[in-house]
Amino acid sequence: MSLKQQKHLFNISEDVTYLNTASFSPAFKSVEAAGIGAIRRKSSPELRQASDLFEPVIKLRKLFAQLIDEDDYNRVVTIPSVSYGMANVANNITLKEGDEIVIVEEQFPSNYYIWENLAKQYNAKIVTVNQPDKPKDWNGLILEAITKNTALVAIGHLHWANGIVFDLKALRKKTNEHDALLVIDGSQSIGALPFSIKDIQPDALICAGYKWLFGPYGCAYAYYGSYFDNGKPIEQNWANRLGSENLSGLTEYQSQYKPKASRYAMGESGSFIYVKMQIAALEEILKINKAEFQDYCHSISGDALKSLSEIGFTSDNPEVRAKHLFGIKIPNSVDTDLLKQTLKSHNIHLSFRGDYMRVSCHIFNTETHFKKLFSVLNAAVNG
């Protein structure tokens, strides 16, 4: 059965054309209700139990593990941001002088600054693979950049600005051949694009939670493979130590961390309001078949993108990019600042990234939204 539009699950106004989930997702009604319920619970602190700090978090971790096809929830942990998760990765990597870290052109800052800092620390080198004229050739160039000097490949599942999908299986194979780590930023793909830890087996997967996972701003998730099982977390908090569930024994200081990814948990990971909202959000996302979701996004956008290309607003071939997130190249003749004002005046919301308009859609979007986008852009160009 094919996926249908589900606008009724959201409280988005009919006059709003929201094509910007890649920046911030709206809230499912169920997520909004979970947040309100959690806030109200704050008014009755006497009802809260010590187990509330741990059991909901375990449930949340199990949901995220299910989402990424990981059997052991102890391999995943909740964190506050992608930069936090990447910092834990970098904190447990030792490089040699001349080692190389492979990234791609215009990578998201949270997946760049940490490696720039690590490279400076060890006098290593950042190798940036630029996007070629033909996007289909990009994966080949990345594979060529992985050599005996490569210590780490840090990359998204897809490019955050234009949606070009990277061949993670091929990258994993090549990094294994050179004993290099593979660290994936799944912020723009997990929850929207088919993905399996079992298929890719990355060393780490870090993912923002407020985009395609529909959680509140300030939540994220991390998967850490066996390489990091005995690592040192960047934060020393009481909750990531072994036996911390026994609140009456907290001053019997414990030198051991909880197993596997649990050692990388942030302080106050049991955040009562956020966790309730995140659980509700992942329960909604797990209902969506990701392959069907990709097909749905393509079905509502395909005709409009074809029409847009005829007036100079071009996008990459769907065979090399994601269907839920893609870039539309702005013609050189178009005043971008004026275009932004025009879209805003018509209540159309998307992002501008370099030479692209970045469009991202979900199950609350319909073909009508893309027809409106074409109509406004066509009028802006042709009057």
Q: Is the pLDDT of residue 214 over 80?
A: yes
Question: Is the pTM higher than 0.85?
Answer: yes
CA dist 70 → 160, 199, 225, 233, 283 (Å): 24, 10, 11, 22, 16
- How far apart CA 326 and CA 6 sit, in angstroms, is 21
Query: Which residues fall within 8 angstroms of residue 204, CB to CB, at 6 or more apart?
Result: 85, 89, 181, 183, 184, 222, 223, 224, 225, 227, 228
From 173, 216, 208, select the one nearest 189 (Cα to Cα).
Answer: 208
User: 275 near 44, Cβ under 8 Å?
Assistant: no
Query: Which residues fall within 8 angstroms of residue 297, CB to CB, at 6 or more apart?
Result: 323, 324, 361, 362, 365
pLDDT, position 240? 84
Digit-coded pLDDT (tens) for 221-239: 999 999 999 999 999 987 8
Q: Is the pLDDT of residue 1 over 60?
A: no
Digit-coded pLDDT (tens) for 172-201: 999 999 999 999 999 999 999 999 999 999
The Cβ of residue 333 has, within 10 Å, a number of other Cβ atoms equal to 7
Beta-bridge partner residues of 18: 349
- How far apart CA 35 and CA 48 sit, in angstroms, is 16
User: 187 near 157, Cβ under 8 Å?
Assistant: no
Mean of the per-residue pLDDT values of the chain: 94
CA dist 193 → 94, 160, 320 (Å): 32, 13, 13
User: 165 near 106, Cβ under 8 Å?
Assistant: no
The secondary structure element, H or E, covering residue 101 is: strand 100-104
pLDDT, position 288? 97
**Pairing outcome for strands 220-224 and 314-315:** unpaired
Alpha helices in the chain (DSSP H): 29-42, 55-67, 82-90, 113-122, 138-145, 168-177, 197-200, 272-285, 290-309, 336-345, 367-382
- How far apart CA 187 and CA 222 sit, in angstroms, is 10
pLDDT, position 47? 62
Helix then strand then coil, in percent of the chain rounded to 5, is: 40, 15, 40
Q: What percent of the chain has pLDDT over 90?
A: 84
Tokens coding 14:
């009919």
Query: Which residues fall within 8 angstroms of residue 63, CB to CB, at 6 or more apart?
Result: 279, 282, 283, 286
Query: Which residues fall within 8 angstroms of residue 274, CB to CB, at 6 or more apart?
Result: 215, 216, 218, 219
Q: Is the pLDDT of residue 344 over 90?
A: yes
Domains in the chain: ranges and CATH: 7-27+289-382 (3.90.1150.10), 49-285 (3.40.640.10)
The residue among 137 and 50 whose pLDDT is bigger is 137
Burial class (CB in 10 A: 0-12, 13-18, 19+), 45: exposed
Query: Which residues fall within 8 angstroms of residue 171, CB to CB, at 6 or more apart?
Result: 142, 143, 146, 153, 155, 182
- How far apart CA 13 and CA 155 sit, in angstroms, is 36
Q: What is the arrangement of strands in the sheet containing 76-79, beginning at the earlier edge strand?
A: 76-79, 220-224, 204-208, 181-185, 150-156, 100-104, 125-129
Query: Which residues fall within 8 angstroms of residue 150, CB to CB, at 6 or more apart?
Result: 99, 100, 101, 102, 127, 175, 178, 180
For residues 85-114, give the mean pLDDT. Answer: 96
Compute the residue count for the chain: 383
pLDDT, position 255? 85
pLDDT, position 50? 63
From 6, 14, 94, select the one nearest 372 (Cα to Cα).
Answer: 14
DSSP string, 175-210: HHHTT-EEEEE-TTTTTTS---HHHH--SEEEEESS
